[in-house]
Amino acid sequence: MRRSPKETEVAAGLVTRRGVVLGGIQLGFMGVLGLRMRQMQVTEADSYRLLAEENRINVRLIPPSRGIIYDRHGIAIAENAQNYRVVIVREDVEDVDEAIAKVRRLVNIDDRELERALREMSRRSPFVPITLADQLAWEDVAELAINAPALPGITPDVGLSRIYPLGPDFAHIVGYVGPVSERDLAQLQNPDPLLQIPEFQIGKIGVETKLEDQLRGKAGTKRIEVNAGGRVMRELSRDEFTAGQDLQLTIDHGLQNYAQVRLANESAGAVVIDIESGDLLAMASAPSFDPNLFVRGISTKDYNALRDHEYRPLFNKAVQGLYPPGSTFKMMTGLAALRAGVIGPRETVYCPGFMSFGGRRFHCWKRGGHGHMDFNNALMQSCDVYFYEAANRVGVDRLADLCHEFGLGERHDLPLSAIQEGIVPSTKWKAQVRGERWNPGETLNTAIGQGDVLASPLQLAVMTARIASGRAVVPRLIKSIDGVDTPVAEAPPLAVDPGILAMAQKGMWNVSNGSRGTARRSRIVADGIEMAGKTGTSQVRNITAAERARGVTRNDQLPWNRRDHGLFVAFAPFDKPKYAIATIVEHGGGGSSAAAPPARDILLYALYGDIPPLEAYPSEQRERIKAMHEEMALRPRLKPEAKPSRA
């Protein structure tokens, strides 16, 4: 049907309007698209360029090398060794199980290591490198490098791992490092990003943990280019790390080794201090352990063997062990009474073998008594009754005040784990700690270093150094940090009359050299280096009246863990004191028999700087001492070479 001219005109108008509308819509869309393209290409070009860079460039942390720890002579006692390893970045691997299977065909990875790595993968972000195996041989690294094209996301790497070349000698002082644990991270408010790196090592005990911030250093960074498969193509830039600071300890590795070997087969501790500077020259705790076992994570079997050992090798007896000081405490009792003027320098006290007080008898170690004793003789023969009387007159509070002045009951500020404060009881202490009043009879127990009195070998060594010098000697462990010496504070004089101190020093000389001295068998006979000391025996069990009546059971007839502790403190040379020592032999049975002989030998090594000559010993002991040193020389003993240091 033909349209009329009018209908044709109307239809043409409708088509034109639709075309205009559609054209306008198309034009508007093209305009919006053009504007968006301009915005993306010009305005937001930098943002998209950055996103592209991030897709092909990774920024990784470079762990710093840990500071080296040296002894006072520059011998490395904690250093770093190269550690070849293989790492996996999960986000760069299509199939983790398949990739690990390929690696295991090239490198031996035991099940324990693999389990640890998989555990780390589940906890870490996919871009964090995870160590599959470390301590690899160079041949393993070369094998991985050859097969690199078939192992996307798998990279051989080299890092540093902590080693302790002197093994057990410094385990309780230096401590050890280990991988960062979840517990470590939970204890920090703002953990260093370094700590997020799997297998990164931090200090766990000892100097390693107490001076972690100085030893760790600061991380560096590197920007690397990777391809679509995640393989590293090249390194674009690098900011080097700042190495940790080197530390130099005051410890003498030779003396430390001798002390450890001399105390072997005992549960014992010894501390040697330089009286002039306060430098700690040896801090032995026996038996010890190999800290290298802990660096990569100790096995359950090895840890249980250490934990369950009767002699507690993980326990630092030198600073952590607290013991009743026994008769080594008697210098404190005598000095307190003499300073207070409640007993005269030549005044005597009669010892019938006991002292009656408060309706009970306080016995002397010598059942028949010592007779009339002045301070000098009472110290030489270790008469308990004299010191009962002295303490009863001076009172426990004035005795406690003097003890604190001599370093007992004080936590010395050293970068070591678990340093103990000890206990010096007083009326105030008992009221605060136990909510009880002081019993006067407790003063008598305190007088002979029993009751509530507890001290560590470190505290007893400081006490002895202060008696020998008359000054408030402060112990020091860090000799220098990165070559800068730590200051040695001048020790102020003690508030004790020098004449009274001289009486204590002479009494200690008589202990080691007098005809009735309790440590006479452990004397030094070499001219000019005579030793002054004091033995101590501390009870670890109660002796009943019935046992005392029938005769006290000898230590060698008791089980090991029920025997008395043996203690000894000393300084030498007597005329010009240079070194002081304190020794504890747990359940050794007696100070004169168990603790004095090794203390004398260790002190002689400090004085001579080497194995002591036989001429320093009493003639009747020389053959035995010679045989002992020959036997000691057969034990495993590391002889490190001195290395240059930054210290």
Domain segments of the chain: what residues?
58-249, 253-633
Mean pLDDT of 458-471: 98
Residue 641 has pLDDT above 90, yes or no: no
At 21, list the tokens. 């509308």
Catalytic choice (285, 288, 327, 538):
327
How confident is the model at residue 107, as a pLDDT? Answer: 83
Q: With bands split at pLDDT 50, 70 and 90, how would you rate the model's confidence at 300?
A: confident
Mean pLDDT of 223-243: 71
- The Cα–Cα gap between 203 and 215 comes to 9
In this structure, the strands spanning 268-274 and 280-286 are: antiparallel
Q: In Å, how far from its chain's centre is CA 36? A: 64
Q: Find the range with the poorest average confidence among 50-54, 480-484, 496-500.
A: 50-54
Query: Of 246, 177, 244, 194, whose CA–CA distance to 217 is shortest?
Result: 244
Mean pLDDT of 307-326: 95
Q: What is the DSSP letter of 594?
A: I
How confident is the model at residue 547, as a pLDDT? Answer: 59
Domain 253-633 homologous superfamily, CATH: DD-peptidase/beta-lactamase superfamily (3.40.710.10)
Q: With bands split at pLDDT 50, 70 and 90, how would you rate the model's confidence at 298?
A: confident
Mean pLDDT of 160-172: 93
| pTM for the whole structure | 0.84
- The Cα–Cα gap between 571 and 554 comes to 30
Query: Of 350, 354, 265, whose CA–CA distance to 309 is shortest?
Result: 265
How confident is the model at residue 97, as a pLDDT? Answer: 83
Contact 178, 202 (CB under 8 A): yes
How confident is the model at residue 82, as a pLDDT? Answer: 84
Residues ≥6 apart with Cβ < 8 Å to 290: 164, 167, 168, 171
Residue 460 has pLDDT above 80, yes or no: yes
Is residue 465 classed as helix, strand or coil in its secondary structure? helix
Residue 160 has pLDDT above 60, yes or no: yes
Query: Of 466, 455, 601, 459, whose CA–CA distance to 531 is shortest?
Result: 601
Percent of the chain with pLDDT over 90: 60
Q: With bands split at pLDDT 50, 70 and 90, how would you rate the model's confidence at 647?
A: very low
pLDDT tens digit sequence for 176-212: 998 887 787 777 777 787 777 767 889 999 999 999 9
The three-state (H, E, C) secondary structure of 418-459, written as one string: CCCCCECCCHHHHHHHCCCCCCHHHHHHHHCCCCCCEECHHH
How confident is the model at residue 321, as a pLDDT? Answer: 95
Query: Of 427, 431, 416, 425, whose CA–CA distance to 454 is shortest?
Result: 425
- The Cα–Cα gap between 65 and 475 comes to 30
Which comes out higher in pLDDT, residue 534 or 114? 534
Q: With bands split at pLDDT 50, 70 and 90, how would you rate the model's confidence at 231?
A: low
- What are the DSSP E strand ranges found in 476-602? 478-481, 484-485, 532-538, 565-572, 579-585
Contact 530, 572 (CB under 8 A): yes
Average pLDDT taken over every residue of the chain: 87
Query: Of 469, 473, 467, 468, whose CA–CA distance to 490 is shortest?
Result: 473
Residues ≥6 apart with Cβ < 8 Å to 156: 84, 85, 86, 136, 141, 144, 145
Q: With bands split at pLDDT 50, 70 and 90, how would you rate the model's confidence at 39?
A: low
Q: Angle 311-316-317 (CA atoms, 0-180°, nearest 5)?
A: 70
Sign of the dihedral through C-alpha 148, 151, 157, 163:
negative
Residue with tokens 């045989």: 627
**How many CB atoms neighbour CB 539 within 10 A?**
14
**How many C-alpha atoms does 301 have within 13 Å on its Cβ side?**
0
Q: With bands split at pLDDT 50, 70 and 90, how would you rate the model's confidence at 1?
A: low
Are both 58-249 and 253-633 of the same fold? Answer: no
Query: Alpha carbon of 200 to those of 83, 161, 422, 582, 599: distances in Å?
Result: 12, 9, 36, 38, 41
Contact 254, 301 (CB under 8 A): no
Q: With bands split at pLDDT 50, 70 and 90, how would you rate the model's confidence at 403?
A: very high
Mean pLDDT of 535-551: 71
CA end-to-end span of the chain: 112
Query: Of 538, 513, 526, 595, whose CA–CA distance to 259 is shortest?
Result: 595
How confident is the model at residue 46, as a pLDDT? Answer: 58
Residue 639 has pLDDT above 50, yes or no: no
Residue 544 has pLDDT above 90, yes or no: no
Q: With bands split at pLDDT 50, 70 and 90, how would you rate the model's confidence at 642?
A: very low
Query: Of 574, 96, 592, 575, whose CA–CA distance to 583 is shortest?
Result: 592
- The Cα–Cα gap between 367 and 361 comes to 12
pLDDT tens digit sequence for 339-384: 999 999 999 999 999 999 988 999 999 989 999 999 999 999 999 9
How confident is the model at residue 7, as a pLDDT? Answer: 62
Residue 439 burial (C-beta neighbours within 10 Å; 0-12, 13-18, 19+): middle
- The Cα–Cα gap between 573 and 40 comes to 86
Q: Find the range with the poorest average confidence among 17-21, 270-274, 508-512.
A: 17-21
Residue 644 burial (C-beta neighbours within 10 Å; 0-12, 13-18, 19+): exposed
pLDDT tens digit sequence for 4-24: 666 666 555 655 666 666 777
Q: Any catalytic annotation for residue 619?
A: no
Which comes out higher in pLDDT, residue 639 or 424? 424
How confident is the model at residue 51, as a pLDDT? Answer: 47
- The Cα–Cα gap between 388 and 440 comes to 11
- What are the DSSP E strand ranges found in 268-310? 268-274, 280-286
How confident is the model at residue 40, as a pLDDT? Answer: 62
Mean pLDDT of 233-251: 86
CATH number of the domain located at residue range(s) 58-249 in this protein:
3.90.1310.10
Per-residue b/e over 425-436, b at no fewer than 16 CB within 10 Å?
bbbebbeeeeee
Mean pLDDT of 401-429: 96
